[in-house]
């Protein structure tokens, strides 16, 4: 089974999903994230699904579970990069992911979390 | 009429992913729009998981089909020899679940497909057929 790597940038844990998700992988990610939040004291989690071409009810529910779990450990979760076709399908499936914060891309997601973004290069302003 | 006809076993979580990939490939080759591809692949994922989790495993057949009026589409037939579904109305009700899920699997797959057929017999198994036509 593949595992999804978790990267740390400052106070934020970044998960960028680049594989076809199977159920066990999603469950493992949930546990790995819980561990990493506790170990690092991260205040935010970003799940980047730019490369994910389907989100079914199981995967969608896991995003909601991860968001609730992180919140209990004082970390905010933002799902970023959802493809339009995935969003249309999720709504038709009956899953609106009400409890999950979303942002269009990674940069906007970082902003939602109040994470510092790279400064403008000196001399360009 | 069948232009393409591939059958895959569903006996593991990996197989659920393989069914999704196969449906995606057949739908893309048939010229289906990206949104409709995503819908039928998502429906396939729900049905394949049901077969693995509730049906004790089974198989999926993916066909490229053409109807009497010459319209092309993709059909997925998912079969298991599991316990069957005792109450079809309940199983098709959104939010009703026999396990720990959300109860979106069957009703969701039905909404995402253009045609949906459920054939189940207690103690013998369940076959679900979904078809999506190309717009």
ipTM: 0.89
Which positions in chain A touch B96 (Cβ < 8 Å)? Answer: none
Q: Average of pLDDT values for B92-107?
A: 74
Query: Which architecture does CATH list for A6-112?
Result: 2-Layer Sandwich (3.30)
Minimum mean pLDDT range among A47-56, A114-123, B3-12, B22-31: A114-123
To the nearest whole Å, the CA of A37 is away from the closest chain B CA by: 26
Instruction: Give the integer Cα–Cα distance in Å for A46 and A24.
Output: 20
Chain B residues whose CB is inside 8 A of the A58 CB are: 45, 49, 101
Distance between A81 CA and the closest CA of chain B, angstroms:
16
Number of A to B CB contacts under 8 A, please give it.
Answer: 70
CB–CB of A94 and B104 under 8 A? yes
Domains parsed from chain B with CATH numbers: 2-133 (3.30.565.10)
Could you tell me if A85 lies within 8 Å of chain B, comparing CB atoms? yes
- Distance set, CA B81 to CA A33, A114, B56, B61 (Å): 37, 52, 7, 15
Contacting residues of B for A53, CB less than 8 Å apart: 24, 38, 41
Query: Cα torsion for A114, A52, B49, A3, to the nearest 10°?
Result: -70
pLDDT single digits (tens) A67-114 = 999 999 999 999 999 999 999 999 999 888 888 999 999 999 999 999
| Structure-token pair, residue B52 | 């693995």
Q: Tell me the shortest Cα–Cα distance from A9 to chain B, in angstroms.
A: 31
* Percentage of chain B lying above the pLDDT 70 cut: 93
Average pLDDT value for residue range B58-80:
95
pLDDT digits (tens, 9 = 90+) for B24-57: 999 999 999 999 999 999 999 999 999 999 899 9
| Percent of chain A at pLDDT exceeding 90 | 84
């Amino acid at each position: 089974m593949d595992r999804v790597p978790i990267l740390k940038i400052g106070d934020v844990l970044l998960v960028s999903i680049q594989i076809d998700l199977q159920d066990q992988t999603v469950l493992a990610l949930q546990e790995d994230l819980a561990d990493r939040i506790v170990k690092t004291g991260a205040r935010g989690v970003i799940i980047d699904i730019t490369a994910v071409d389907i989100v079914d009810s199981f995967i969608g529910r896991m995003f909601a579970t991860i968001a609730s779990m992180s919140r209990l450990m004082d970390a905010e979760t933002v799902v970023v990069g959802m493809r339009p076709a995935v969003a249309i399908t999720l709504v038709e499936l009956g899953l609106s992911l009400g409890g999950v914060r979303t942002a269009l891309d990674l940069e906007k997601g970082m902003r939602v979390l109040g994470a510092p973004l790279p400064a403008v290069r000196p001399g360009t302003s | 009429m069948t232009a393409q006809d591939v059958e895959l076993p569903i006996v593991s979580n990996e197989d659920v992913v393989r069914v999704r990939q196969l449906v995606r490939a057949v739908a893309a080759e048939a010229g289906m729009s990206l949104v409709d591809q995503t819908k039928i692949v998502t429906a396939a994922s729900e049905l394949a998981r049901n077969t693995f989790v509730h049906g004790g495993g089974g198989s999926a057949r993916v066909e490229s089909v053409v109807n009497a009026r010459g319209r092309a589409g993709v059909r997925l037939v998912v079969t298991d020899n599991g316990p069957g579904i005792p109450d079809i109305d309940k199983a098709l009700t959104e939010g009703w679940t026999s396990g720990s899920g959300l109860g979106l699997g069957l009703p969701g797959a039905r909404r995402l497909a253009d045609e949906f057929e459920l054939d189940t017999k207690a103690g013998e198994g369940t076959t679900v057929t979904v078809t999506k036509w190309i717009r």
